[in-house]
Amino acid sequence: MTNHLPIYIEGEKWIPLTYFSDQEKKSFKEWLPSYRLKKVKLPGLVLTECLDFKTYACWLRLKELSYTKVPIFDF
């Protein structure tokens, strides 16, 4: 799983969905309601389907936890 760097727009961190692979986009869209994706405007450019970096970081942590095969109780 790739860890993406945010872009800074007007003091806030954003991650465009164009950064994701098709599999990651599908996984993210299944996890998050569509109203959480925002339109971010830059001079001369509009990025559709962007999410704030905090939401992305939370999703990434949850995905990393789901991929680990560490037992909860190790006796």
CA–CA separation, 62 and 56 (whole Å): 10
pLDDT in tens, the chain (75 residues): 567 888 898 789 999 988 888 988 888 788 888 888 889 888 888 988 898 899 888 888 887 776 655 555 554
User: Is the pTM above the cut of 0.85?
Assistant: no
Residue 41 vs residues 18, 32, 45, 66, 71: alpha-carbon distances, Å: 15, 21, 6, 34, 45
Return the pLDDT at 13: 93
Return the pLDDT at 43: 86
Return the pLDDT at 9: 84
Give long-range contacts, CB 8 A cutoff, 24+ apart: 3-12: 3/60, 4/56, 6/53, 6/56, 9/40, 9/42, 12/52, 12/53
